[in-house]
Amino acid sequence: MKLMKKSTICRRFLALALAAAMTFSLAACGNSSGGGTEKKEWVWVPEFITIDDESVSYYDMQLVGDGLYYLSYKWDEATGKSSESICKYSLTDGNITKTPLSYAEEKIWNLNGGVFAKDGSLYSVAHVYSEDYSVSEVYLCKFDAQGNQLYAEDMTDLVGDSYVDSVAVDGEGRIYVSGDTKVWLFDAEGRNQGTISLDSGGIRAMGCSKDGKMYVCYYGNDGYELADIDFEGKKVGSTYDNFPSGNSNRLVPGIDKDFLVHDGRTVYEYDTKKQAAEELFTWLDSDINGNYVQNFGVLEDGRILAVTMDWETNDSGISLLTKKKASEVPQKETIVIGSLNGGSDIQSAAVKFNKSSDKYHISIRGYLDYNSWDGNDYEAYVADGLSRMNNDITSNNCPDILDLSGLNIKQLAAKGVFEDLGGYLDKSDKLSREDFLENVLEAYTINGKLISIPYSFQIQTVVGKGSDVGTDMGWSIDELIAYADAHPDAQLFDYVNKNQIMMYLMVYNADSFIDWSTGECSFDTDEFKSILNFVNRFPDEVQWDEEDMSTPNKIQKGNVLLYEANIYDFQQIQLCNEIFQGDASYIGYPTMDGSVGCMLSASQAYAITSKGGNKDGAWEFIEGFLAKEENPDRGVSYFGFPTMKSKLDTLAEDAVKVEYHTDENGELILDENGEAIVMGTGGGFSYSDGWSYDYRIPTQEEVDLTRTLMELAKPVTYSQGDEVLNIINEEAAAFYKGQKGVDEVASVIQSRIKIYVGENK
């Protein structure tokens, strides 16, 4: 069963009207009094450059010598064809030269995976189509610096069904084309010399080291591996350990060592002889969001150039980084944000704050080490990151701010980790309590403390057939079990295993068995034993079957009973109603007392730590982040619903507003039936078994129901990697396998969790 999500967002690509000016930003590397950030000897100071060219493309921009090369495309309305040009932006004088490409044959050429050589020539793979698109071929092409096509070698049969990803040229001019798990070898004239097949999960990156030798980074048995390529032997050569996983599809020569590598947070240099990576700096310390770095490289004078591309806002540009003594750069006070993953949204907020503040600088301490994960046992990987975070929280190395994503906030609140934001909010001249949804503030008020104000949120709930489960929201675990018993021939949920069902049952009920304030636990009770017996009905693992019937079809045929809905906009209610054919009941996750289990998943929820040394600076960051104005031309930066009432009200009003597409003269655009085309419609879901749904403008009733669910939703305190769930799943496995009885397993779980709570309350 294959799911294809139709286009739901029409992105507005803004024409770049950028002045050819340079903005100089001083990176900050000072110490906070409590953040525990080590003062660095060297910093990389950024210089931000904008290019005054509406056709500039940052997507595959490459550094060659003193220039930035890229392809620009121009559409000809008269001919219905596009033309390409090789563009060079000179870093010396800012001039742009454009050289049109010319092809040997009149076909439809679509260039992909190109690389520029030192002389300005271009090597690229082209997908070539006939005029009527009935024939598709793949060619390896070379263009000289004047745009002339020197050759086009047919490699259609060579690549077959493989996806061609990138092209690289070594120091001897030999060409390497990669795709999926293969590298195709060509001499300097484009003649195929053989193929290397990697016994791996796929190629991540390819490129030359500082000495011009070709290497490939691929996914092996123990994570990402680096190996050199033996061109003559047509095989992979030596492999090298401790190579950072990287965040690019092109390997880049280093400054002093073989490679420059980055993982979205940190920039390293890697030495193949020592098989070791040395950290140079973090992108954020240079006011750059590392997740937006599209390409980077080293200039001859040792500066590092980074090309950034923000997919959400289309805010792209170039940064030139110069290494300086930290003592030569004005210092700011460092505020440390502790985060499990240190994602792109946090980095974006931090970059914006750092550029605007003369006093403070945000640094992000990520606790999930991408380079240490081998791709196996994700729960243990997350648990290890949580352990490192907890060690810092209880030490003098405590971050100033915590990103609450994936954390057990009730457990941490019971330990007194958080400051009360209420006092800061009451004194703020930018925000007030009345600005935010009351239930969100209430949900994040624990033991009388307002620990966080999320920027946005989504809702997850369980939907069932109203004629079966009733129309009232909320039910108990006993009622869920009884419902499953009454339908023995149907699955409760589609594609769930034991651990997932345990998660569903624990997200709102684990605290019923734990009192974090006293340390008391009750996992040896009949209630918990009943949960273990129920979970044991489900499979240990579930294998995904692409040929299987879609979940909506299964529900409508009665093969599946319940649907887990993720509600992130005002359109999702209509999808649920369609799945249940007008009989949807938003009953929620089961709870011990039968109350409504509607999950509030916050996005960008930050808390100030009690042990942090810079509380005023931490609040300045949070306050500015919550109070920020959205740019209407670039869209909103939240995915889900805003917690600020005014923004949510505007979103709700716009959701039901009916507007029509018009042409440049303001006239209505009509469809094939002569009807005006409504804006905001289209998109939806389509499955390979024929079930599909196209979104329409939501009704006011659907918007009202969504807002009712918002008012009932509460944050989740247990997630994948949580130690309590890990203990339950580990010990329950012996019961599931028939090695121990339910009483014995419940007793062991009780003992282990009681010890854990006692050590962590």
pLDDT tens column, 549-577: 999 999 999 999 999 999 999 999 999 99
- Whole-number percent of the chain with pLDDT over 70: 90
**CATH number for 292:** 2.130.10.10
pLDDT tens sequence across 499-510: 999 988 988 888
Which residues share a beta bridge with 464?
585
User: Does residue 44 belong to any structural domain of this protein?
Assistant: no
Same domain, 407 and 521: no
Considering its fold, how many domains does the chain have in total? 4
Q: Quick one: which of 424, 353, 435 has its CA closest to 642?
A: 435
Same domain, 122 and 218: yes
Q: Determine the structural domain holding residue 749 and report its residue range.
A: 498-543+722-761
- Most confident listed range (219-228, 322-331, 702-711, 712-721): 702-711
Same domain, 239 and 95: yes
**Least confident span in 7-16, 445-454, 654-663:** 7-16
Distance CA(609)–CA(52), nearest Å, equals: 44
Single-letter amino acid, residue 541? E
Tokens of 559: 């093969």
User: Does residue 586 belong to any structural domain of this protein?
Assistant: no
Distance CA(67)–CA(305), nearest Å, equals: 11
Q: Please state the rounded mean pLDDT for residues 472-495.
A: 95
Place of tokens 């209505």: 668
Q: What crossing angle do the helices spanning 723-736 and 742-760 adopt, rounded to 10°?
A: 170
Q: What distances in angstroms separate CA 484 from CA 407, 468, 477, 552, one per listed residue?
A: 31, 11, 11, 19
Comparing 189 with 723, the larger pLDDT belongs to 189
- Rounded to the nearest angstrom, the gap between the alpha carbon of residue 359 and the centroid of all alpha carbons in its chain is 30
Single-letter amino acid, residue 355? K
What is the residue-averaged pLDDT of the chain? 86
Same domain, 156 and 111: yes
- Rounded to the nearest angstrom, the gap between the alpha carbon of residue 400 and the centroid of all alpha carbons in its chain is 24
Same domain, 726 and 694: no
pLDDT tens sequence across 72-104: 888 777 766 778 899 999 999 999 999 999 998
Q: Is the pLDDT of residue 35 over 70?
A: no
User: Does residue 423 belong to any structural domain of this protein?
Assistant: yes
Helical (H) or strand (E) element with 752: helix 742-760
Query: Considering 269, 284, 303, which residue would you say is the last residue of a domain?
Result: 303
Q: How many residues make up the chain in this entry?
A: 761
pLDDT tens sequence across 281-310: 999 999 999 989 989 999 999 999 999 987
Which residues share a beta bridge with 88?
69, 97
326, 27 contact by CB (below 8 A): no
pLDDT tens sequence across 365-376: 989 876 666 667
User: Does residue 440 belong to any structural domain of this protein?
Assistant: yes
Distance CA(262)–CA(265), nearest Å, equals: 7
- Whole-number percent of the chain with pLDDT over 90: 60
Same domain, 436 and 511: no
pLDDT tens sequence across 143-165: 999 999 999 999 999 998 888 88
Same domain, 193 and 78: yes
Strands (E), 371-427: 401-403
- Number of other residues whose CB lies within 10 A of the CB of residue 721: 21
pLDDT tens sequence across 395-426: 889 999 999 988 888 888 888 999 999 999 99
Q: What is the pLDDT of residue 180?
A: 87
Beginning with the edge strand found earlier in the chain, give each strand of the sheet holding 223-230 in spatial order: 203-208, 214-220, 223-230, 235-240
Same domain, 296 and 361: no
492, 469 contact by CB (below 8 A): no
**pTM for the predicted model, two decimal places:** 0.78
Tokens of 34: 């409590």
Torsion of CA 338, 344, 346, 347, to 10 degrees: 90
Q: What distances in angstroms separate CA 404 from CA 158, 302, 347, 419, 427, one per listed residue?
A: 49, 39, 15, 13, 24
Query: What's the angle, vertex CA 449, arms to CA 445 and CA 455, rounded to 5?
Result: 50
3-state secondary structure of 711: helix
Distance CA(549)–CA(688), nearest Å, equals: 9
Q: Quick one: which of 608, 588, 569 has its CA closest to 714?
A: 588
pLDDT tens sequence across 618-662: 999 999 999 987 654 444 445 789 999 999 999 999 889 887 778
User: Does residue 395 belong to any structural domain of this protein?
Assistant: yes
Q: What is the pLDDT of residue 129?
A: 86
Q: What is the pLDDT of residue 131?
A: 77
User: Does residue 315 belong to any structural domain of this protein?
Assistant: no
User: Does residue 95 belong to any structural domain of this protein?
Assistant: yes
Q: Quick one: which of 386, 592, 620, 613 has its CA closest to 508?
A: 592
Which residues share a beta bridge with 577?
none
pLDDT tens sequence across 261-288: 998 889 999 999 999 999 999 999 999 9
Which residues share a beta bridge with 684?
694
SS3 assignment for 476-522: EHHHHHHHHHHCCCCECCCCCCHHHHHHHHHCCCHHHCEECCCCEEC
Single-letter amino acid, residue 566? N
Query: Considering 303, 320, 335, which residue would you say is the last residue of a domain?
Result: 303
Distance CA(706)–CA(702), nearest Å, equals: 6
φ and ψ at residue 630, rounded to 5 degrees: -80, 145
Same domain, 296 and 389: no
Torsion of CA 529, 534, 539, 540, to 10 degrees: -20
Which residues share a beta bridge with 216?
206, 227
Distance CA(651)–CA(673), nearest Å, equals: 31
Q: Is the pLDDT of residue 352 over 80?
A: yes
User: Does residue 210 belong to any structural domain of this protein?
Assistant: yes
Q: What is the pLDDT of residue 105?
A: 84
Same domain, 747 and 655: no
**Least confident span in 91-100, 493-502, 683-692:** 683-692
pLDDT tens sequence across 175-217: 999 988 999 999 999 999 999 998 777 898 999 999 999 999 9
Same domain, 616 and 658: no
Q: What is the pLDDT of residue 462?
A: 96
Q: What is the pLDDT of residue 681?
A: 66
Q: What distances in angstroms separate CA 121 from CA 101, 228, 416, 690, one per listed residue?
A: 11, 25, 62, 48
Distance CA(55)–CA(53), nearest Å, equals: 5
Single-letter amino acid, residue 514? I
Same domain, 410 and 536: no
Helical (H) or strand (E) element with 637: none
**Least confident span in 27-31, 366-370, 519-523:** 27-31
Tokens of 460: 């997850």
